[in-house]
A = this chain, B = another copy of it.
């Protein structure tokens, strides 16, 4: 029955065992210059006294924190429907970091929060060994800043910066093309697009894919059918109501996320329109959310859990000094039809 009175340190252990602090420290990390017998003795005492290394001391000394910061961008007020993406991503990150003594810690970024400020705090305060960053813009200042400092990071989403950096991305151009083409192939010719804020790289790529699909079908691009804005369910619902206000509502809506799709469906019903029948709603998701709705929505799917895994993987390899060319990956979405399964 140990007392655990106050925290045990190397000093405590050294006194207890009549060894030097140095030897204790080395023994705990299986240093080759300490006798196996001593190692056993030290580890036993450490367990008995409940020793745990003081992370800030280790960090101060070594510069290593054992922490990975995950800065996740939530491009909407957390109003109505919580965004489940983050849990899926973290699950993937955790899966990759399993057993690696890196701990992921998550911070949420919104449109209001100054992302650069957060990044600076983390880098300058040495709060993490690496950063996983989402919500990239073409000329992302946070990315630029980290590149300048040579701080290890990986982004979810590309930038247009000249200097290459590790990234993982879903092919949003493809996804939007897929979704739009699917709608067109179902005979829907007035296809609307509900898109994220225009500043995001993500948004531009989606717009490009959407326009390409329209062009291929020989349909003129109509800016009135494109909405840029927050990605909350409430915002999407509003946008959908607005789209359907006139006498000529769209016959399909291509959505940027599952939450957006839920909002769009609600907006349609507000106008007395039936999703799937009157207006086809095509979702883009990283979870299986859309398949649970009624009717199940056709969805451009790319697993967020896998995304998390790869992001963490790239970061780990970046920390190991892997060349940046190996740390860039574009994943394709697959169109999951909305049929009842």
Residue of B nearest to A285 (CB): B82
- Contact A80/B288 with A54-B125, A125-B54 known, Cβ cut-off 8 Å: yes
Q: How far is the CA of A59 from the CA of B148 in the complex (A)?
A: 27
CB contact list, A175-218 vs B, under 8 A: none
CB contact list, A225-278 vs B, under 8 A: 233, 237, 259, 262-263, 265-266, 269, 275
A78/B86 in contact, CB under 8 A = no
A34 at the A/B interface (Cβ < 8 Å)? no
Known pairs A56-B59, A293-B293 / 10 extra A-B pairs, C-beta < 8 Å = A53-B125, A56-B126, A60-B60, A80-B292, A91-B108, A94-B108, A105-B107, A106-B107, A233-B292, A262-B289
Residue of B nearest to A92 (CB): B78
- Chain B residues, CB < 8 A from A20: none
Q: How far is the CA of A90 from the CA of B84 in the complex (A)?
A: 13
Q: Which of B55, B87, B262, B292 contacts A292 (CB 8 A)?
A: B262
A–B complex contacts, Cβ < 8 Å, 25 sampled? A4-B148, A52-B120, A52-B125, A54-B60, A54-B125, A54-B126, A78-B90, A80-B289, A80-B292, A81-B289, A82-B83, A82-B84, A82-B85, A82-B88, A84-B84, A90-B106, A105-B106, A105-B107, A106-B106, A233-B288, A262-B289, A262-B292, A266-B292, A275-B294, A294-B294
Please state the number of chain copies in the assembly.
Answer: 2
Quote the shortest CB–CB distance from A121 to chain B (angstroms).
7
Interface residues on A, range: 35 or more
A29 at the A/B interface (Cβ < 8 Å)? no
A57 at the A/B interface (Cβ < 8 Å)? yes
CB contact list, A69-87 vs B, under 8 A: 74, 78-87
CB contact list, A146-170 vs B, under 8 A: 148-149
A139 at the A/B interface (Cβ < 8 Å)? no
CB contact list, A290-341 vs B, under 8 A: 291-294, 304-305, 340
Q: How far is the CA of A269 from the CA of B293 in the complex (A)?
A: 10
